[in-house]
């Protein structure tokens, strides 16, 4: 059975969810980067039922306008694979950082050096809270023009422009290596100096602070709210979602997911272009309504 025709599968037993954590690209968003009316309605219905919604993404905070524009501009977003938590309530252009888990510059320099030795030809870009910097050879993978072109070592130096801003992550691109092979190589080379993952179909790695991931930041946010991992339902499609899907009490791989994601999740849904997140939310809310009706009848 292909992923396009696979029917949603739900874990056999699970605690009623109090929080929905969903990735964006390839998960909540369709391939054209839109949020369907069905998905908007499902998220609104979940919130009306008392379930919090968290957007958990590899995107930087400045790329969150797509969510503010299409999904009411509400809630919190975990950005940069866990490097920052951003309040979206103000709408586009008014996002506020509420938590930052930076990549120390010395760790970033070490990671760049170790990866240069292990994978010659790698080129880098630097994501900060508000700035974006890249090496001259870094390809045009992103929508914005970089604030400065220089080597990663210069960009991460103590006297570099923007040193007053935390580094959220380093992007590492290789023009020739297989994406999964590049990820494995980088993790071995860098070790515990940084966390490394990927969310792009190309050989683009995302390097964050030690222990920083979507899962670890989501766990912090949930602990602050008294929400256990059993009460979280998570959705994702790429390797940077694996830890979050493993941590959550219920988790769903999209029909278009990477094989590692499908293996990690406790359930499966249809592809992002078929509104796989909405399909599961609708089912959960329908089950909840049915259970309420049964309880009412029993009394």
- pLDDT computed for residue 14 by the predictor: 64
Please state, in angstroms and rounded to a whole number, the distance separating the CA atoms of residues 237 and 226: 27
β-sheet bridge partners, residue 132:
127
- pLDDT computed for residue 3 by the predictor: 35
CB proximity list for 130: less than 8 A, separation 6 or greater: 62, 165
* Region 135-158 average pLDDT: 89
Contact 131, 149 (CB under 8 A): no
- pLDDT computed for residue 87 by the predictor: 86
At residue 10, does pLDDT exceed 70?
no
CB proximity list for 190: less than 8 A, separation 6 or greater: 110, 111, 114, 115, 196, 207
- pLDDT computed for residue 140 by the predictor: 86
**Segment among 12-16, 41-45, 131-135 with least mean pLDDT:** 12-16
Q: What percent of the chain has pLDDT over 90?
A: 71
H-helix segments, 129-257: 152-155, 179-190, 214-225, 242-247
At residue 261, does pLDDT exceed 80?
yes
* Region 172-193 average pLDDT: 97
Instruction: Compare 289 and 95 and report the one with higher pLDDT.
Output: 289
At residue 5, does pLDDT exceed 80?
no
* Region 155-183 average pLDDT: 94
Domains recognised in the chain with CATH numbers: 19-100+213-298 (3.40.50.1000), 105-208 (3.30.1240.10)
At residue 2, does pLDDT exceed 50?
no
Contact 131, 91 (CB under 8 A): no
At residue 146, does pLDDT exceed 90?
no
At residue 94, does pLDDT exceed 80?
no
Of 95-104, 133-142, 208-217, 286-295, give the range with the top mean pLDDT: 208-217
- pLDDT computed for residue 7 by the predictor: 43
* Region 9-30 average pLDDT: 82
- pLDDT computed for residue 64 by the predictor: 78
The conformation of residue 176, written as its DSSP 8-state character, comes to S
Element of type H or E holding 276: helix 276-298
- pLDDT computed for residue 95 by the predictor: 73
* Region 96-110 average pLDDT: 95
Q: pTM for this one? A: 0.88
* Region 272-276 average pLDDT: 98
**Segment among 11-15, 53-57, 290-294 with least mean pLDDT:** 11-15
Q: How many CB atoms lie within 10 A of CB 62?
A: 17
At residue 272, does pLDDT exceed 80?
yes
SS3 220: helix
User: pLDDT tens digits, residue range 41-83?
Assistant: 999 899 999 999 999 999 888 777 766 665 555 568 899 999 9
Return the closest-CA partner of residue 83 out of 117, 112, 58, 52.
58
Please state, in angstroms and rounded to a whole number, the distance separating the CA atoms of residues 80 and 110: 20
């Amino acid at each position: 059975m292909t992923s396009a025709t696979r029917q949603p599968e739900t874990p056999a037993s699970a605690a009623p969810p109090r929080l929905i954590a969903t990735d964006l690209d390839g998960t909540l968003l369709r391939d054209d980067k839109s949020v369907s009316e069905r998905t908007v309605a499902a998220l609104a219905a979940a919130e009306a039922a008392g379930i919090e919604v968290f957007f958990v993404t590899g995107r930087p905070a400045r790329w969150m306008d797509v969510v503010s524009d299409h999904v009411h501009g509400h809630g919190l977003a975990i950005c940069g694979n866990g490097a920052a938590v951003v309040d979206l309530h103000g709408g586009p252009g008014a996002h506020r950082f509420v938590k930052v888990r930076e990549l120390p510059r010395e760790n970033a320099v070490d990671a760049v050096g170790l990866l240069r030795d292990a994978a010659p030809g790698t080129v880098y870009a630097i994501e900060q809270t508000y700035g974006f910097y890249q090496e001259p050879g870094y390809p045009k993978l992103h929508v914005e023009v970089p604030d400065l072109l220089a080597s990663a070592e210069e960009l991460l130096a103590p006297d570099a422009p923007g040193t007053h801003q935390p580094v959220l992550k380093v992007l590492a691109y290789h023009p020739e290596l297989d994406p999964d092979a590049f990820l494995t190589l980088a993790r071995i080379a860098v070790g515990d100096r940084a966390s490394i993952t990927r969310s792009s179909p190309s050989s683009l790695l995302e390097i964050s602070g030690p222990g920083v991931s979507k899962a670890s930041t989501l766990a912090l946010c949930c602990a602050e709210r008294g929400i256990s991992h059993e009460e979280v339902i998570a959705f994702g499609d790429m390797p940077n979602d694996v830890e979050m899907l493993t941590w959550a009490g219920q988790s769903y791989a999209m029909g278009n997911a990477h094989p590692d994601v499908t293996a990690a999740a406790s359930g499966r849904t249809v592809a992002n272009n078929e509104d796989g997140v909405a399909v599961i939310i609708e089912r959960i809310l329908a089950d909840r309504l049915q259970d309420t009706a049964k309880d009412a009848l029993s009394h």
